[in-house]
Structure formats: C-alpha cells, structure tokens
C-alpha cells in the first residue's frame, strides 16, 4: 500500500519541499497487517499528527477507530471528513479530556481497545513555559491516566508520540514529555504482559498547527517582515506524513520496550526555510520581504539533539532507528508523581518545575525564569 502525501489547507507550500533532503517513505505492508481488524484509539486526534494518523489508519480497514479530542470544532470537522472519505469505517468521535479519569475509564471499559496511539499533548515550548500547570497536568498526569487504563484493560500496544525536545530538556514542555517517557518505561518493566509500550520521537513537524511554517506563510502573504528567532537556530524537520509513518511502523515492528526515531539527516536552519519560502512565493528575501531576528524565546535551544543516540541505536528498516528502554525503578518515580500532584495543588509554578528538575537532573532551563532553579554544575548528580 502506497502512503499518500497530504497537503495542508492553511499553508500554500508542500512541506516536503522544505526538508533539505528526500522525504522518507516506508513500506506500509506491516502497518496494514497490524491495523486491519483491530480497535484503535487515537488521543489528540484532531491535531496535526492525530489527524494524519486517523487518515492512514482508516485506510488500513480497522475494526473500529475511536478519535478522542477536547477541541469541539476540529474534532467535528475531522468526523465529517473521515465519514465521507471512509464510509465503511466504524468510526467513533469522542469529546473528552485525557485528564478526566472517570470519562477515560468509561471509554476504555466500553470500547475494548486493542491499540492506543497517544498523541494528546500541549506542545508549544514558549507558551508552556508560561503555563507549567497545564503542561504537567496534561502531558504527565493525562498520560498516566491513559497508560494505567491501557494496562488495566489489557491493551495490546501503547504507542506514545514524544519529541526530540525530551532529550536533555531545556523547557517545561520537553521536561513533561521526558517525565511521561520515564513513567511509560516504568510501566513496561512492572507490567510486561500483555501491554507493550513503544515510544516514538521526532523533530519539528513542518506545517503542523501553529508551526513557524504557517506563520511564515502568513507573514509573506502580508508583505513581511518574516520573524525568525535567531540566525543560527536550527531544528530537525519532518513532515506529518513522515512522522505518522514512523509511529505506525513502530507499532507494527516493535515487540515493546523500545524508543523509535528516524535518521532525519542534518538539522535545518530556520532562516534558510524562511528564505526558501520567500523565493517559492516569487519574491526576493531581504529586499522585497524583510527577515527580522527577534531572539530565542523562553525554553528554546539554539539547536536540538538527535532524537536517539546514533551510536547506541540499531537500524530497523530504511532510516528507522531504535534503542531499548533503560531499566527503571518505580519507588522514586512514584514518589515524584505524588510530589507533582501536591505541587499542582499548591498552584506555585516554581514548586512544580522544581519537582521536574529533581526527577530529571539533565533538565536545564534555557531563556526561562526557571533558570534560577537549576543547580550549579558542581551540585548536579549523574
């Protein structure tokens, strides 16, 4: 089955034109066999990744697809779109918040879910630096609720959509995604049967909701200026189609207890993407459309690190790489989870972030008011 490339209605450019490399395409036969005849839950289904996952999964003739999101309009639009495109699919669109434990329990008890793709999360780095309560509640405690239910209801496979920003995090968002990864590794070691936990990590998704690509396109349309944070800022880039291929192939090939990523090539300078977009618009950068540098925002690194250590990874197929979960002990982690809940109850952002830093020693804030909570290098433990 050939994977179809999808364009983004809010962006006039094809994201794959801006990668600086050839798009990655995987053989989808394994995915088809994994999804066909199974009941699948996608959380965060109305987001960019969730929507693309829904499209690819519905094409694989699943027994049932449950799409969960708290965004009414976006979920309603997705429901109408998929029912027209896949009229034979048993589709259930459910409004709900992953932090609502009772609602999530009712969902799992009634649907006999076999595979979970957990994409629901808050993702915007500078914005979550201002809202650690929401980032922790959704990205960590919401993941805990969904993952615990997956174990309780004997879900076959749980695939978590993470990010390269979880590697030595410099932001609240990255730290919450890393904490959730650690919790899933704990569950994997404590409850190895039957739920198999898989983590996928990837870089920035070009053309995703709220991404700089959409902002650049709008700024060019308005005549500029195009605002870039830093002339040397660079990111690993993927398209939504590539990201979902990664997620689905990981679900198909993993036996559990692994972290997957693509070899995404070299990171791309964001200013180079801005210049390419201006040229694709038939205009000249710096003369017809100005580029302005505004400075790195809260929580942002100048460059990201590879999603997994290339030296420690093994090749699965094509550019797909994996590493096994690290062994985890549960006592300290469960204590940190309890401390996080108490910190949330306190309403004090610094207390919340302090718990994250205690749980993730490599979490060092960048361009953030939480930098003052970081230990001096001589105080850090390895």
Strands 314-317 and 320-324: antiparallel
CA–CA separation, 346 and 316 (whole Å): 45
Helices (H), the chain: 29-35, 48-58, 72-85, 101-111, 125-129, 132-135, 143-152, 172-190, 212-221, 240-253, 270-280, 330-346, 349-359
> Are the beta carbons of 126 and 299 closer than 8 angstroms?
yes
Strands 258-262 and 320-324: antiparallel
CA–CA separation, 195 and 58 (whole Å): 23
Q: Has 314 been annotated as catalytic?
A: no
Residue with tokens 């009229």: 87
Beta-ladder partners of 237: 204
**In 3D, which of 181, 235, 187, 186 has the Cα closest to residue 356?**
181
* Active-site choice (165, 177, 301, 321): 165
> Are the beta carbons of 282 and 175 closer than 8 angstroms?
no
What residues act catalytically?
165
């Amino acid at each position: 089955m050939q994977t179809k490339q999808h364009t983004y209605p809010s962006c006039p450019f094809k994201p794959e034109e801006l990668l600086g490399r050839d798009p990655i395409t995987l053989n989808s036969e394994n995915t088809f066999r994994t999804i066909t005849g199974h009941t699948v839950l996608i959380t965060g289904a109305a987001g960019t990744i969730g929507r693309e996952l829904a499209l690819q999964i519905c094409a694989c003739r699943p027994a049932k697809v449950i799409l969960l999101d708290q965004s009414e309009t976006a979920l309603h639009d997705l429901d109408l779109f998929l029912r027209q495109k896949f009229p034979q699919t048993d589709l259930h669109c459910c409004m709900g918040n992953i932090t609502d434990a009772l609602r999530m329990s009712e969902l799992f008890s009634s649907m006999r879910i076999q595979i979970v793709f957990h994409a629901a999360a808050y993702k915007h780095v500078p914005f979550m630096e201002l809202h650690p309560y929401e980032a922790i509640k959704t990205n960590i405690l919401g993941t805990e609720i969904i993952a615990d239910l997956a174990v309780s209801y004997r879900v076959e496979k749980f695939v978590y959509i993470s990010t390269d920003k979880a590697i030595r995090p410099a932001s609240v968002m990255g730290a919450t995604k890393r904490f959730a990864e650690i919790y899933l590794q704990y569950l994997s070691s404590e409850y190895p049967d039957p739920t198999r936990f898989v983590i996928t990590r990837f870089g920035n998704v070009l053309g995703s909701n709220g991404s700089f690509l959409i902002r650049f396109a709008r700024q060019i349309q308005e005549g500029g200026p195009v605002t870039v944070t830093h002339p040397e800022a660079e990111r690993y880039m993927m398209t939504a189609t590539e990201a979902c291929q990664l997620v689905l192939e990981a679900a198909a090939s993993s036996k559990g207890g692994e972290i997957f990523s693509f070899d995404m090539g070299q990171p791309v300078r964001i200013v180079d993407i801005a210049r390419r977009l201006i040229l694709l618009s038939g205009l000249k950068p710096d003369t017809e459309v100005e580029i302005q540098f505004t400075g790195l925002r809260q929580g942002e690194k100048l460059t990201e690190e590879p999603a997994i250590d290339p030296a420690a990874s093994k090749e699965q197929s094509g550019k797909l790489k994996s590493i096994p979960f690290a062994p985890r002990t549960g006592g300290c982690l469960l204590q940190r989870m309890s401390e996080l809940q108490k910190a949330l109850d306190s309403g004090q952002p610094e207390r919340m972030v302090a718990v994250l830093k205690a749980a993730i020693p490599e979490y060092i804030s960048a361009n953030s008011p939480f930098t003052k909570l970081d230990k001096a290098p001589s105080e850090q433990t390895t």
